[in-house]
Chains A and B, each alone.
Chain A
């Protein structure tokens, strides 16, 4: 076999592997959304994707790694949307943060089951996944942090604020509201009204003067 032929075989294998990966991810996403993360097994994913259990394991180490990959994709879409919008936001610091969170609710509520599975799994997954998740969340926190920084620089907010603590508190409130979305079937719009009241309360204490 010529060298070019070897490369060709390698290329085909690589393409096959990528195709398997895509099918596994698509099948897993449907199952995580439908049956939920805990209920879904690798066997179910393999069956739905039309591949062997062994093939699933050649593309991903474990179920939680497939989930983590899906969360990574989901997060990139969300953060991309928020970063695109962030420079165009107007109004007070409070308005900007509420706008960002409302947009995020709009995006996440379109795939609420996946978001709920994400939040549920996040309380019990391995440390290595938690590290990646925390890193992603830091990027989201960074957007809120920038809004607050902007507010401080404009003299709208107090200069002595503990911005890390403030953003973390806002973030916790933001995430917690998904519970209301799920159990009270609140739409993104209702969540947006709720977060506005909560952020207003918190930001009242952060105002300058």
Chain B
């Protein structure tokens, strides 16, 4: 760039010659130079502004376009994420303690219709009725030709039915995927599992929700995708449950009972190994809830959990155990059993007269109401109430089922002395078989509290102590004597030392006012083996009557005990309990006289 001088010599000389001020030339040139410089700088600034503006425009344009794209596009799952397993979105399975499936899912299809898309509605309706005979052709045709745009036809269809519907060839008949809850074992453990049905339904999917039992209790857990399909493991044993149901169903029909229930519980952990309530139902096809009449007549009613009954003499062992714990008696203390025992207008009688006195063991063995009531009078109402509370008889069981809180024990409104006396032999306080199982387990496992549970537990910390080890062992020995020489003599199972207590309680009239003469609840509460307690089994029959003799026999010794014995014979080997065989003499050695 050539620099223009501020004072060009030629112009200066000419100006001087003409007498002008040469400084004016310099000033003019300086002004011109400044103007040129300002021009240049403005241009550069404009250029920079343009570039900056362009950059901002691009940046904002990019953001705007991205926002527009995000807002207008269909949402999609992140495909490149590493965390989590996006595949398993199904409801979790329910399995038994050995991992065998109790409830699982099956992919099926639902069938719906878009009547507007149909070409030949009459043929479609006719074809559908041929596949699903329960549909009504006239109604279908009316729906297809009316102004409805959408119509559910079936919630679940099998692959064969789907193919048949496909073969109708109507473009208005459409299928949607549908997950179905399947209980492969049918009615086995039906009351515990409960059942499932559909919640919110769409064409593409439907919610499966639990309606009863553990399905409802653990609904949130089973639906939680964070579990990644990890199954819910129950404490039940499928094989044992099936065997128990079979034996109990047989016993119920032989003993002409109207209902039956059994609870088999691990004595140390409180795990329910099997819990049966008959009559039962198929959870795949859950019957409707009764709208009239007594809910306890419905097969949906879980007698083991919801049914609260006065269970009778099975409570006597609690009375004697508490008295022994308090040091009031020992197994050989003689108890006055002279009858009848009169208290106010009440009279307490025994099944038959047992003479003036019996030892404590014999009070249990012979099941003397009078003897037990006399022991209870020594204990007193307050201490009895506290003891039964510590065994869990005053509150609903903590079993993990939605039905559990409905099994609330019925207590006397006023725990008077007569209540104490009747409760000592199991009248005046109603509780469920699960309560009884937990109570027996707590008393007989060495004396620590056991909470019943339906979930698999590896180890359980021993609960608070209820009675001493010695009292627990003595109680077991008393129960063993009941089987050896008492009311439960049918309960002897070769190879297993069974101990238990029978209970026969008259049923209270539903209309109120006393008890039925010919309707009883017979119960056998047992523990086996008594020398190393492992399991507690409660068998309850509702209105049994054993008719092989001259007159019907209803006592538990004739009804519940044989059923329980058969159940122990079937179930104990399945639980891995080895029979203890008396080795009388070494084989091949003969005793000879010398």
Asked if A and B bind, the verdict is no
Residues in chain B within 8 A of chain A (CB atoms): none
Residues in chain A within 8 A of chain B (CB atoms): none
